Structure formats: C-alpha cells, structure tokens
C-alpha cells in the first residue's frame, strides 16, 4: 500500500521560505496569495498492512519534528 | 580529558575540534558513528557539518545513528556532551535539549564572525568567562534560528540555561546583532543538569590566533578547569 505523509511547518512558526515564495507568487501575477507555507510530501510504499500506531510512531519520531511541524497521514490504497 | 569526537557521514568540523582540543590539553579521539559504546570517555563532542546531507531535517537521521543510543545514556547519567552547530541540531532532535533549529530568517547561509555574549559564568562551560563578556566567534550555518515555544524559552531563562546570546558590537542583544532570527538571540543553551551544551557558533574555530580570534578558548578552558576542581574535591 502507499502511504503519503504531509509535513508542514506549524502555523505559529515563521516559515521564511514560505514568505519568500509568497513574494515570488505576487511578482508572478497572483497578488491575491495571502499566505504561502512550504512543507514536504513523503511517500512510502509498504508491503502488507502495517498497523496505524507504528506509522504514526515513524511520523512523530523521524519524519516530522513535533516541536516545529505537524504531519498528516494519508493511506492511499 | 579523554574526549570522543563523533564522526557522522557528513561531519566536517571534526578535525577543527580535534586540533583545537589537542592544543588545549585535551586527549581527543575520533569515534565513528557506528560504534555502539562511548565507554572510557569523559567528554563527547558532536561536531559541526552536514550529517546525512541534512536530509529530512538537520540532525534528524544522525540522531538515530548507533552511537547516539550510548551518547544519550551517557548524557542522562551526567556525562559531558557538547554539540556544535550540526551537533546542536542533533542534540535538539534527540531530545537532549529543548527546541529546534530552523532555516535562518534571511534564508541565507551565514558564515562570519559574530559577537556572542556570555550570559552566565556559573556553569562548567563558562566558568572562566564573566557574565556579559563578548566573544568573537564564527558562525557558519543556514539553519541556526533557534525556535521553542514561549513556555520553554521562559523556563530556559528562569533556570539560567541560556548561556550564549548573539549581540551587536556594543554587546547589546539587539535585533541587528541577531544573525539568524533566533528567539531571544539565543546562540547556546544547556540542559537542566548543565552537563549537555549546544551552540551554533564554532568556538573550535576561534582557538588559534591564525584564525583571527582566540575567544573560543575560554569555553574549552572552562570545562577543563571545572574537571580539575572536581578531581581535587
């Protein structure tokens, strides 16, 4: 099965990369963009069906840093 | 002091640390990250660099290197551990120090000498300095902006664990003197017990007059002095 993990900087934390991208988006002709945040998408191909608890453990301990980031799990199939 | 300088794939300040420590009277040894023991060492240094290419997050993968399990045990039992730059990032990722280090506010990699003010002289790491003393020490990082929630920062302040702050030429911890946007100008902190110290500046690159400053020495000399006092006592 495929698991997608979306990792995003917490809203409370300054994301300078997002701010820079927002400026570029404005210059590119979309001044309506109010906010941009840059995160990452990590895709895992997994054999069989792991239990959700161990998926969350990997997300919490390795794939994201709970001090600065939130993650979201999406099981595709 | 028998010292282990841990080498991760991508460490690149290991030799700087070795040179500086050897010249100051330490007994440094390299320790490959795949070793699973730190026994026989009095002091562990996690040097700067780009362990695992900074993949995922700085220090995120190094934190799970085999050696880190014993480094964490060593630290929890009171052993002296210092993380410089990428080493500081690894200490935060491993939970030995609170907070995290994020992309510099400017998005630039900043490589220059900066003013770093000693906030407390009462720790093993700063006892030969004086509070308010300004050290001229280089930084070299793209992700050194210290971040922690307000409660954690308040706790660090209350427990006098913010040991170093970035400052301007006048010694003021102003925004102008903050090279990366760290909260409260934080450049270095220690854990509650005081035996784990993490900092973004590179004191090991400020120990030889050829390198333009010897202000980094006071940190390593403090630590040596603190050990000597302990032994006499």
CATH number of the structural domain spanning residue B190: 3.40.50.880
- Does position B179 have pLDDT exceeding 90, yes or no? yes
3-state SS, residue B185:
helix
Total count of domains within chain B: 1
B34-62 pLDDT, tens digit per residue, is: 999 999 999 999 999 999 999 999 999 99
CB B156 within 8 A of CB B119: no
- Does position B231 have pLDDT exceeding 80, yes or no? no
CB B140 within 8 A of CB B202: yes
**pLDDT, position B169:** 86
CB B88 within 8 A of CB B182: no
- Does position B230 have pLDDT exceeding 80, yes or no? no
**pLDDT, position B104:** 97
Residues 6+ positions from B228 with CB-CB distance below 8 Å: none
**pLDDT, position B229:** 65
**pLDDT, position B196:** 98
- Does position A4 have pLDDT exceeding 60, yes or no? yes
Nearest to B81 by CA among B5, B176, B30: B5
**pLDDT, position B199:** 98
Q: What percent of chain B has pLDDT over 70?
A: 98
A9-66 pLDDT, tens digit per residue, is: 999 888 999 999 999 999 999 999 999 999 999 999 999 888 999 999 999 999 999 9
**pLDDT, position B232:** 55
Is A41 within 8 Å of chain B by CB? no
Is A11 within 8 Å of chain B by CB? no
Rounded Cα distance between B226 and B84, Å, is 20
Is A65 within 8 Å of chain B by CB? yes
Model confidence band, residue B228 (pLDDT cutoffs 50, 70, 90) = confident
CB B31 within 8 A of CB B3: no
Q: Which residues span the domain enclosing B113?
A: 2-232
Residue whose tokens read 């959700």: A52
Residue whose tokens read 């000399």: B221
Is A48 within 8 Å of chain B by CB? no
B204 noted as active-site residue:
yes
A30-43 pLDDT, tens digit per residue, is: 999 999 999 999 99
First-residue to last-residue Cα distance in chain A: 5
Contact criterion met (CB < 8 Å) for A62 and B103: no
Model confidence band, residue B194 (pLDDT cutoffs 50, 70, 90) = very high
Residue of A nearest to B63 (CA): A62
Catalytic residue among B13, B17, B58, B85: B85
Positions of E strands within B142-219: 145-147, 162-167, 186-190, 196-199
Q: What percent of chain B has pLDDT over 90?
A: 96
B58-111 pLDDT, tens digit per residue, is: 999 999 999 999 999 999 999 999 999 999 999 999 999 999 999 999 999 999
Residues 6+ positions from B45 with CB-CB distance below 8 Å: B3, B4, B5, B6, B17, B21, B28, B81, B82, B83, B84, B87
Q: Cα angle vertex B50, ends B49, B51, to 5°? A: 105
Catalogue all structural domains in chain A, each as residue range(s) with its CATH number: 2-75 (3.30.1280.10)
Torsion of CA B179, B181, B182, B186, to 10 degrees: 40
Nearest Cα of chain A lies from the Cα of B219 at a distance, in angstroms, of 29
Catalytic residue among B33, B113, B141, B202: B202
**pLDDT, position B191:** 98
Mean local confidence (pLDDT), B103-129: 96
């Amino acid at each position: 099965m495929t698991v997608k993990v979306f990792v995003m900087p917490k809203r409370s934390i300054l994301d300078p990369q997002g701010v820079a991208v927002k400026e570029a988006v404005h210059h590119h002709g979309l001044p309506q963009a109010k906010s941009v945040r840059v995160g990452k998408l990590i895709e895992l191909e997994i054999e069989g069906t792991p239990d959700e608890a161990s998926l969350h453990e990997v997300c919490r301990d390795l794939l994201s840093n709970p001090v600065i980031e939130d993650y979201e799990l999406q099981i595709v199939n | 002091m028998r010292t282990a300088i841990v080498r991760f794939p991508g460490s690149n300040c290991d030799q700087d640390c070795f040179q500086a420590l050897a010249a100051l009277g330490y007994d440094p040894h390299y320790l490959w990250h795949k070793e699973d023991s730190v026994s026989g060492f009095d002091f562990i240094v996690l040097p700067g660099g780009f362990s695992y290419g900074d993949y995922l997050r700085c220090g995120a993968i190094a934190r799970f290197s085999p050696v880190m399990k014993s480094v964490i045990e060593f630290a929890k039992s009171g052993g002296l551990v210092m993380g410089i730059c990428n080493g500081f990032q690894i200490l935060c990722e491993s939970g030995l120090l609170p907070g995290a280090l994020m992309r510099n506010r400017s998005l630039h990699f900043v490589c220059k000498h900066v003013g770093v003010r000693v906030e407390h002289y009462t720790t093993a790491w700063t006892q030969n300095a004086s509070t308010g003393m300004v050290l001229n020490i280089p930084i070299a990082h793209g992700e050194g902006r210290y971040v922690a929630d307000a409660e954690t920062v308040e706790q660090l302040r209350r427990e006098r664990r913010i040991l170093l702050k970035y400052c301007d030429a006048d010694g003021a911890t102003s925004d102008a003197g903050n090279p990366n946007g760290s909260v409260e100008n934080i450049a270095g902190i220690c854990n509650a017990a005081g035996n784990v110290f993490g900092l973004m500046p590179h004191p090991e690159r400020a120990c030889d007059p050829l390198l333009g400053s010897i202000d980094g020495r006071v940190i390593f000399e403090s630590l040596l002095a603190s050990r000597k006092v302990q032994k006499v006592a």
